[in-house]
Structures are given as C-alpha cells and as structure tokens.
Amino acid sequence: MKSSLNLRYAANDLRRNKGVNAALVVVLVLSAFMMATGAMVMERLFGSVERLFAEARAPHFIQMHRGDYDPAELDRFAEEHPEVEAWLIEEMVGFDSAAITWHRPETGESGDLSDSLIDNLFVSQNTEFDFLLDETGAIPRPAPGEVYVPVAYQQEYGLRVGDELTVATESGPRDLEVRGAVRDAQMASSLSSSTRFLVAEEDRRDLEEAGGGIPEIIVEYRLTDVDAAADVQRAYESDDALPRDGQAVTYRLMLMIYVLSDGLVAIAMVFASLVLIAIALLNLRFVIRGTLEDEVREIGAMKAIGLPHRTIVGLYLPKYRVMTLLACVIGGALAVVATGLLTRGIQVNYIEAPAGAATVLAPVLALVLVHVIVIGICRGVLRGVRRIQVVSALVHGSVHDERQTARRTRRQARRVRRSSLTAYRGGNLGGRLLLTDLRAEAGQWVLIPLVFLLAAVMMVLPMNMLTTFDSPRFVTYMGVPQVDVRADLRFIDDLDTARDDVLSEMRGDDRLTDVRTFADVTYEVDVTVDGEQVRDLLQVEVGDYSDDTIEFFRGERPGPGQIALSVLAADEYGVAVGDDLTIHRDGEPTTVAVSGVYQSITGGGYGAKLQGEATTGAVGHVVYADAVDGVDADAVAAEYDERFADAAVLPMPEYTRQTLSNLTGSFQSTAVLAGVFGLGVASVITVMFLELRLTRERTRMGLLSAIGFSTREIIAQVRVKTLVAAALGTVLGLVFAATAGESFVSLLLALSGLGIVDLEFITDPLLVYAAYPAVLIGAGYLGAVLRTARLRRADKSAWLTGG
C-alpha cells in the first residue's frame, strides 16, 4: 500500500508539472546519452585495438634500422634474453609518396600519393607474428604482381580492387594490381609516420633491386611478458653491436597512440556529460527546493500527525527515481545508435571487436553512475524535510525554523529599503523597478547564470581544442617552426645531393625567403637506470636555430654547443635547463648544455634540436622556407613538389592537417555535439525556470497590472532579467574556459603522455567571443520569449488570487 501511495503521488506530480518535469527529463536524457556514448566508444576502441593486436600478434618491442647489420648479433641478443618468446627481421623497401601512382582501367581515373608525408614501406607477409590483416581479419598472402594497400590510403584515395598501382623505380615503373586493403597493428594511427604495403616476397626483392627505394628493416620481438618491453629496450639500446639507426617503439606506446588518436572524442563526450549532469543537478536542487517551499504547509501537516521524515521523503523521491530511470533508458538507447555512427572509423582502421560482457557493462555502469549521482543529490536536498518545523510550516509557511525565519525577515526588510522607490524622481519607472528587482532577487535568479556558465564552458572548450589543433600556429607544438613551405627528403639513395639541389633552387627563388635545412640524425645518450648506466637512442634535428620560431616551454633555442630537448626526453633523462648532457655519434662522445625544453607530439614525443651544420649521412632532411608577401605559398609548394620527384613539398597547413587528421576530426565531432546540446539545454532550462518563477510571481504581476503596468511592460521586465542573467553567466563561462579550462586541458594532456604539458589555446576570437556568446544568449532570450508570450492571453484578475 505504501509503495502504491508513493507511486500515485509521483504520477500526480508528474502530470501536474508537465513542462518542468519534461525539461528535467530532457537534460537527464542528454546527460545519460553523453556518458553512455563516451563509455561505449571507449570500450569499442579498446576492444577493436586489442583484437587487432591479438589477431595480428603485434610485437611487444620493435627497432627500425637503415643500413648494414649483423644477423648473428641479433640472434645472440635473443638467446641472452629468455623473456624473448619469438623474434624476426622484417625487410622493407621505402619509396617516396611521389613515386607511387594509381590508375583505374575501367574508368580511366588516375592519381598519385604525392601529397602524403607518410613513409611508404613495401613488405611481404610475416610467418610468425606481426601479420597484416585484410578486411575480414584473414592473413592475406598476395601472389606476384598483387598488392594490398593500407586501409587509410584506400579510404583517402578511394582505391578499389582491380586498380593498378605503379611504383617508379630507377629501372623503370613496376605495376601491381590492388587486391584489397590491410589493417596494420603497428602503423594504423594517423600519428604514425609510416605505413606498409603488402606484396609478395618476389615483388619486394624486385622493388629493392630496381633502385629508387631505400632498404630498411624492423627488428621485432614478442615477449613472454609485455611489461618487460622497457627492460628489453634498454638492454637492446645498450648493446653497440645491434642495429638501431631508427625509431624504437614498445607495445604500450603503440596502444597509447591509438587511444589518443581515436579516443579523444570519447573523453570529450564524458566531459560534456559531466557538465550536463552538473546542470541537471542544479536544476533538480532548484525544483526540489521550490517544491518543498510550495508544499511546506502540507509537509507541516504530515509532520504534525506523526509521519516520519523517511515517509514524507518517500512521497517525493519516487518521482525523481522514475524520471532518472526513464532518462537513463532513453539516453542508453540513443547511445547505442550514436556509438555505431561514431565508431565507423574505428571499425575501418581496426578489426570490429565482438560484443562481450564489457560491451554491456560499460554503458550500464555509466548509466548507473548517472542514476546514483542524481538520486544521491535528490536525497541530499530532500533531507531539508528534517529541518522543517511544524509551527513555522503551518503558521508562517516557511521551510526554516523561527530563528532562520527571523533572519530572513530582517534581510528582506533591508532589501525592501534598498529597493525602495521613495527616491524616484521620474524617468523610466519600469527600468528602475527592473534594477531594484534584480538587486533584491539576485539569489532567486542565480540558477540561470550558473546554467549558462556551464553551457558556455561545454561549448567553448571543445571548440578551442579544435581551433588550437587546427591552427597553423599549432606546428610549434610539433617541434616544427611556423613557416609557409616544408620539403621532406627521405628514401633517396643520394640524400645529400637531393638536399643540395632543393636548397639551391629555393635559395635562388626570389619568391622564397629564409630558406633553412635541418638533418635528422640518430644520437646515443647516456642514461642511468636503476643505478646502471645505459645508452638510449635519440632522434636529433641538427641545423641553425638562430632565427627559429619554435616556442619553448622552458629556456630558449640552442646555440653553439647547446641542445634543446622535448618535454618527454628531458623527463626521461632527468635533465633541466642548464644541465650538461653527453651524446654519442659514431662512438664519439660530445657534452652539450641543455638550452631549453620544448613541447612536441611528433616522434612519440621524444626528440631534440642541436645547433650545428646539417650533418652528412643523415637519415633524412627537412627544408623550411617562407613565401614573400603576396606570393601564394600553396602554388609554390605544388610547383616544387612536381619539379622534385624525390621530395615531398607541402604548404605547412597541409602538413599539419595530414599529421593531426584524426585528432581534429574527433574534436570537430565533439564540438558540434557540444554546441547543439549546449544551446538546447540553455533554452530548455530557461523555459523551465521561467515556468516555475512566473507561477510564484503571479500575485506580484497581478499587483503591477492593478497599479497600471501594461502586460507588455511586465513581459519586458521578465525578458530583460533573463537576458541579463544569461549574459552574466555566458561571460563568466568564457572567462572560466579561457583560464581554468585551459589549465584543465593542459593537465589532461600532460597526464596522457602526448608530449604537451602547457597548452595555450589558439582561439578564433570572432567565433568564441562574438558568435558563440550571441547565439547562446539568444537561445536563452528565445526561451524567455516563448514562455512569456503566453502571458498576453493570461487572465490578469486571476493573478491577484494566485490562480
């Protein structure tokens, strides 16, 4: 009977306040939807990556190398380390993107990969582990003359089965027929600098012998315990007899790169969900406190006849249980649909993971968390029933005791004196009354500024992240100067000659200025680990940094005898600005001083910059140049890219786009969702607030109408108060997002190990500080217009009676 009574009371209350309850349900649905979607996207990402790693038997530690090596030394190393379960040497041949073209025989369409900065490595299928998998998850083994292209290229260039892929070699073109696409456990992320094409072993050898490509190997290890990868890496890099002229990567680093490149949208959605939950809780607190104040005499009567607090609370709590449960069910159902749309890219790049217990538990636990938080807050607010005294409730109609009531009465008297119109000497009486109302009722209108503050933060933070990562200035966070044109030279037999040719042309071109070249060189660094000194490999960019535009987190650009380290490298080696660091090249030690520390997300976040001449025998060269004012940098880059087939020449914005395409895509999706939801929530909450507020102010509005204020003036007062409250909250939200919000994002990035520890937002001022505030405040004002429009048809005489 008790449960039936509680449910019947809840049902009656839901019917009585349809508009308010509907608004609360909408906010709760959005909260549950965002939380469940974020959890499901993250679960699908982890599941897909883990399945790809499992089916491809991804290596636990790899070392890339160019040049000669001794297989016997690698065999010795494996025998000396029992934690090595299996190992292999994968032979590859790398070609510049400009050397690869495609043609579709049935339509005559054609194109090339020249605008891609990714290193293109042609490999054959491995036999023990590190398999390249086709769209079905099978291990393809192409016949001679066939090729399987990376799935990223298939998507970007629309490559199909039957297309012809041509590789330009020194001995002439080599034609291969596209038989499908492959997923790569090592190099699937857009943050990866390389990608692999799968061909038959005969074709790989033919491409290597034909010339024009650079032979390279990957030494790969599967371990008995993946946690031993770091120890194996240190032992490997400390052994001077092993090949290591290239990048080393561990299993954990590969996993982290995938999560960062594809999981940020899920993290952003969880953040947006927490903001929405905060908005929902503010509104629940406002509604519950308003309900207690409206029904205080009924509560006093129930307490007077001896009903316990728990019983009285039980009359109110079921309504919020029903609303929250309904919101979680609807939000969860919508999340299932949204997750399918948001994970299409994950399913393309990785293998779709089968549904398991985690697939169900992730969203369910997220929804349970939402339910527990909401009901917990409801219980906390409803504890106010305990403090209601029978006499105060029945006599004064107050939820406060006599002492609190006396204090409130004195405060109200002071407000009346402050808002008195006795000093009125003419002018706009409506405006004067509006200002006095805002001063006297500030506490009662605080909900609107708080909601708009949170809505502004939810909308602005994802957009600031998008504009920051999408800005041409963001290259300074990639360890790259902010210039107009970039030329990359790799996979060339005579690399130094190719560099000299590009430099000569660019320096003689009056359309370009400030032409500089830098060499990528691998150095060894002395590192102390567990009291033992070992050697670590470090990719160093050598060149002239006297006029460089890279921003330094600490210190300054390197001068002669100095080196600048990335944040992660400085932390790894335990050095700070001013410390000495010993580096080795070809067995020769050199001690350099650390001049500065910069932020970088390229190369796994590890790198350095050394002042000096561009070293010969480097693994690659980069040439930077600025365009003279009035010159189209895009056209110049395209011209040089066509003239120098061995170089990948791109305008810097295109280089940034290619490197960060997954990240910016994630932020774009999140920014759109957050913007739509922020505007919708602001409008809904404004209508809900005014619904309750105007119901309580009927008597006051009736008095204003009786003394001569027109309906238009009464409506204008409500709308202006809403506008002022919304504008105040929006401005505070923008300030919070630009200060505390920036610090919060920097903290998250620092914890992620991405290589950025202090991010400064690169905002679009017109969008963030003009368009967004105008639209958000306009949404609130529109809500006020829609709700107050009904006042024109209201029965004014009924206002005085509270009807």
Kindly report, residue by residue over 192-251, the tens digit of the pLDDT.
Answer: 778 899 999 999 999 998 888 888 899 999 999 888 888 888 888 778 788 877 777 888
Helix (H, G, I), strand (E, B) or coil at 87: strand
Give the whole-angstrom CA distance, residue 378 versus residue 500. Answer: 72
If residue 649 lies in a helix (H) or strand (E), which one and from where to where? strand 647-651
Over the stretch 49-87, which tens digit does the pLDDT of each residue have? 888 888 889 899 988 887 788 889 999 999 998 999 999
**How large is the greatest C-alpha to C-alpha distance in the chain, in angstroms?**
102
Q: Which residue has the tokens 């029945």?
A: 394
Stretch 181-201: mean pLDDT: 82
pLDDT higher than 60, residue 802: no
Give the whole-angstrom CA distance, residue 755 versus residue 566. Answer: 8
What per-residue confidence (pLDDT) applies to 408?
57
pLDDT higher than 70, residue 684: yes
Over the stretch 259-269, which tens digit does the pLDDT of each residue have? 666 666 677 77
What per-residue confidence (pLDDT) applies to 116?
76
Give the pLDDT band of residue 1 (cuts 50, 70, 90). very low
In order of 138, 227, 229, 710, the CA distances from 222 in angstroms are 20, 11, 9, 82
What per-residue confidence (pLDDT) applies to 255?
75
Tokens of 361: 């538990």
Stretch 560-586: mean pLDDT: 89
User: pTM (2 decimals)?
Assistant: 0.76
The DSSP letter of residue 440 is H
In order of 339, 490, 522, 606, 688, the CA distances from 609 in angstroms are 42, 19, 11, 11, 58
Percent of the chain predicted with pLDDT > 70: 84
Q: Which residue has the tokens 């990562």?
A: 469
Please give the span between the terminal C-alpha atoms of the chain, in angstroms, as a whole number: 33
Buried/exposed 20-53: b ≥16 CB within 10 Å, e otherwise: bbebbbbbbbbbbbbbbbbbbbbbbbbbbbbbbb
If residue 622 lies in a helix (H) or strand (E), which one and from where to where? strand 620-627
Number of neighbouring beta carbons within 10 Å of residue 11? 13
Give the pLDDT band of residue 512 (cuts 50, 70, 90). very high
Over the stretch 467-510, which tens digit does the pLDDT of each residue have? 888 887 887 777 788 889 999 887 676 788 888 899 999 999 99
Buried/exposed 196-230: b ≥16 CB within 10 Å, e otherwise: bbbbbeebbebbbebebbbbbbbbbbbbeebebbe
pLDDT higher than 80, residue 12: no
What per-residue confidence (pLDDT) applies to 195?
87
* Contacts (Cβ under 8 Å, ≥6 apart) of 568: 600, 604, 605, 606, 753, 755
Q: Which of 10-14, 70-74, 134-138 has the highest mean pLDDT?
A: 70-74
When the pLDDT of each residue in the chain is averaged and rounded to a whole number, the result is: 82
Percent of the chain predicted with pLDDT > 90: 21
Over the stretch 755-800, which tens digit does the pLDDT of each residue have? 788 888 888 999 999 999 999 999 999 988 988 888 777 666 666 6
Over the stretch 367-378, which tens digit does the pLDDT of each residue have? 999 999 989 888
What per-residue confidence (pLDDT) applies to 146?
93
pLDDT higher than 90, residue 330: yes
Over the stretch 236-253, which tens digit does the pLDDT of each residue have? 877 878 887 777 788 877
Buried/exposed 305-342: b ≥16 CB within 10 Å, e otherwise: eeeebeebbbbbbbbbbbbbbebbebbbebbeebbeeb
Average the pLDDT over each of 152-161, 263-272, 281-290, 393-402 and give the range with the smallest value: 393-402
Helix (H, G, I), strand (E, B) or coil at 446: coil
* Contacts (Cβ under 8 Å, ≥6 apart) of 559: 545, 546, 595, 611
- Among candidate residues 323, 347, 327, the one with its CA nearest the CA of residue 335: 327
Helix, strand, coil tally for the chain in percent (to 5): 55, 20, 25
HSE-up (13 A, CA, CB side) for residue 544: 9
What per-residue confidence (pLDDT) applies to 775?
94
If residue 189 lies in a helix (H) or strand (E), which one and from where to where? none
Q: Which of 217-221, 351-355, 599-603, 614-618 has the highest mean pLDDT?
A: 217-221
Domain regions of the chain by residue span:
67-244, 431-473+655-803, 493-645
